[in-house]
Amino acid sequence: MVKEVNEKLQILRHSASHILADAIKRLYPGVKLAIGPAIEDGFYYDFDFSGCELSEEGRGNFLKPEDLPRIRKEMIKIIKENSDFERIEMNKKDALKKFKEIGENYKVELIEGLEDDVVSIYKHGGFEDLCKGPHLESTKKIGAFKLLSIAGAYWKGSEANAMLQRIYGTAFETKDELNEFLRIREEAQKRDHRKLGKELELFSFNDLVGAGLVLYHPKGAMLRQLIADYITKKHIAKGYQLITSPQILKSDIWVKSGHYEYYKENMYIFDVDGQEFAVKPMNCPGHILVYASKKRSYKELPIRFFELGNVYRHEKSGVLHGLLRVRGFTQDDAHIFCLKEQAEEEIIKVIDFVDETLKVFGFDEVEVELSTQPEKYIGLQEDWEEATTALKNALEKKKIEYDINEGDGAFYGPKIDIKLKDALGRSWQCATIQCDFALPERFDLKYTDSDGREKRPIMLHRVILGSLERFMGAVIEHYGGDFPVWLAPVQVMLVPITDAHAQYSENVAKELKKLGFRVDIDKRSEKMQKKIRDAELAKIPYMAIVGQKEIEEGTVSLRSRKEGDIGAIKKEDLIVRLREETKAATVY
């Protein structure tokens, strides 16, 4: 079943964006308006202040965070004026003339790009803006709102265009809803994976390496490896075959697959010895070639190839965001080659795989989208329709609610996107299932059917976690860096009270490490309270303090982040406790 979108809240927020634009026009004569849509958590509006008069403080054209209260005050004034939102329709020619006369060049560009001969404008009070609508009845219908931040944004998202200033805000029907949003937002800032990545020494970025390329520190590399090990073992247990494909491939294969035509701007392309190569942005061509390396029988299908594949994509610098949007990342990528009649069942199996895996990592809720045929695509129309039907049928059989994301499928096939929801209710893109008839056709993939005739397989592209980097960022923020024992890079920190207790600590650590537990020892010449405090700040699940009494009794004094001071515990009992709390990592 298809989910309903909260249109009422979108209308409220879009109306708030118009009030923001009105306030800016009143406060900063000469400002140019760009766009101001409602977004998932609120709204924004982009402005060009380059032609503005100097501000009252004489500090130039651009806004600073301290300007937001002043703008909010003006918005409240506009809301209290209780002006009706009026829809005005005019022909395209008149609209162009109107906005040219008032110098709104961004609006002129937008109108010129419209195909319709009739243009709609919304007016409240003395303010008019190009807009499809709809809007609230009047400005006074705006509920509770807040301006959140200021950022830079290129016009139409292109670095070749003018840099604008974007003001973000949010709006709700009630103050209670707004306050709850702000509470969650404040908590989200505490959980920001970029902040925790630095504090917990997980990862970093460096200009000498390049933007969007991650340097994993020991603890971060361990966390990443734990995730990778789990998902690899899980694939093997479910009948996937491991393969590995090269990091670079000749451009010929990307031409054949269609990526060269449809995805070239996101690829790193270079010449070697007169031949053109590309760093792979996807793993599918390599998997296709492994399938095509020998004759296949219908009895072999479905064939499931799996690779933890490193890929590189040229993302614009403005969209890079910690681990969530990088240029180099790893996908838990698999491609399933199957019969037409097997496709629906295989899609359902992938959906179940996603559900099972996310629950292990502590994610119990998801949002699902079905993305349909884009304007630019390869393949036959009837194949697209059949592929879309297979995805829809799988979702319907699982009784999963989903949104339709019109025109956002891959160029080779429609897809299901599954977004996990974290502890704060935020959505994170992870799993994708794409149904593809086109690439098997392009690469002339075949299998021999029971009647001895050669036929074409269906190809399912799918990831469970998606980008390991993005998933790791989601895990960090979901837990606030306070990982469950099975995921913690360091599970136990041994803390000898003095140097005299160091050898016993070494022996305990050695015994735990032999059993596969991740243990560290704080050997620093620091006071005990500082060692304990540092272990707490590092969010290590257990601290095992060792003094003379513990040596004599063959115990450790255990302290848990969750339970506090547990007291003396025998090594054997500590091992039992750790084994119980690391069951989630067990696959077989």
Gap between the Cα atoms of 85 and 79, Å rounded: 11
* Residue matched to tokens 């959906």: 351
In this structure, are residues 46 and 201 in contact, taking their beta carbons and an 8 Å threshold?
no
Active-site residue (options: 52, 284, 338, 430): 284
Active site residue 422: no
* Residue matched to tokens 């601290």: 543
Active site residue 415: yes
To the nearest 10°, report the CA torsion of 473, 474, 477, 478.
-150
Q: How far is CA 53 from CA 30, 31, 62, 415, in A?
A: 7, 9, 10, 49
Active-site residue (options: 191, 219, 313, 539): 313
Active-site residue (options: 296, 335, 419, 518): 335
Residue type, 114: L
pLDDT at position 438 is 87
Strand pairing report for 415-421 and 86-91: unpaired
Gap between the Cα atoms of 403 and 371, Å rounded: 8
In this structure, are residues 172 and 9 in contact, taking their beta carbons and an 8 Å threshold?
yes
- Side by side, the strands of the sheet bearing 564-570 are 519-521, 492-496, 542-546, 555-560, 564-570
Active-site residue (options: 333, 417, 422, 522): 333
Active site residue 579: no
In this structure, are residues 422 and 478 in contact, taking their beta carbons and an 8 Å threshold?
yes
Active-site residue (options: 325, 415, 462, 559): 415
Active-site residue (options: 461, 501, 518, 559): 461
* Residue matched to tokens 């305990």: 508
Residue type, 91: N
* Residue matched to tokens 């059989």: 397
pLDDT at position 53 is 64
pLDDT tens track for 78-113: 999 999 999 999 999 999 999 999 999 999 999 999
Composition of the chain by helix, strand, coil, percent to 5: 40, 30, 30
The tokens for 123 are 């007016």
Active site residue 461: yes
- Tell me the chain's radius of gyration from C-alpha atoms: 28
Q: How far is CA 583 from CA 222, 578, 579, 586, in A?
A: 18, 9, 6, 5
Name all domains of the chain by residue range, CATH numbers in brackets.
7-191 (3.30.980.10), 216-242+284-479 (3.30.930.10), 492-585 (3.40.50.800)
The tokens for 279 are 């760093």
Burial class of residue 188 (count of CB atoms within 10 Å of its CB; 0-12, 13-18, 19+): middle
Strand pairing report for 492-496 and 519-521: parallel
In this structure, are residues 558 and 572 in contact, taking their beta carbons and an 8 Å threshold?
no
Active site residue 284: yes
Gap between the Cα atoms of 541 and 487, Å rounded: 10
Gap between the Cα atoms of 23 and 479, Å rounded: 40
Gap between the Cα atoms of 517 and 492, Å rounded: 8
Maximal CA-CA distance, the chain: 92
Active site residue 482: no
In this structure, are residues 71 and 24 in contact, taking their beta carbons and an 8 Å threshold?
yes
> Mind giving me the DSSP string for 430-453?
EEEEEEESHHHHHTT--EE-TTS-
pLDDT at position 431 is 93
Active site residue 217: no
Active-site residue (options: 48, 124, 193, 331): 331
In this structure, are residues 424 and 188 in contact, taking their beta carbons and an 8 Å threshold?
yes
Gap between the Cα atoms of 424 and 439, Å rounded: 39
Per-residue pLDDT of the chain (588 residues), as tens digits, is 444 447 889 999 999 999 999 999 999 988 999 999 999 889 999 999 987 765 444 444 578 899 999 999 999 999 999 999 999 999 999 999 999 999 999 999 999 998 888 999 999 999 999 999 899 999 999 989 999 999 888 898 887 888 899 999 999 999 999 999 999 889 989 999 999 999 999 999 999 999 999 999 999 999 999 999 999 999 999 999 999 999 999 999 999 998 898 889 999 999 999 999 999 999 999 999 999 999 999 999 999 999 999 999 998 887 889 999 999 999 999 999 999 999 999 999 999 999 999 999 999 989 999 999 888 887 888 888 888 999 999 999 999 999 888 888 888 889 999 999 888 888 888 999 998 888 999 999 999 999 999 999 999 999 999 999 999 999 999 999 999 999 999 999 999 998 889 899 999 999 999 999 999 999 888 888 899 899 999 999 999 999 999 999 999 999 999 888 999 999 899 999 999 998 866 654
CA dihedral for 210, 211, 212, 215, sign (positive or negative): positive
pLDDT tens track for 158-181: 878 888 999 999 999 999 999 999
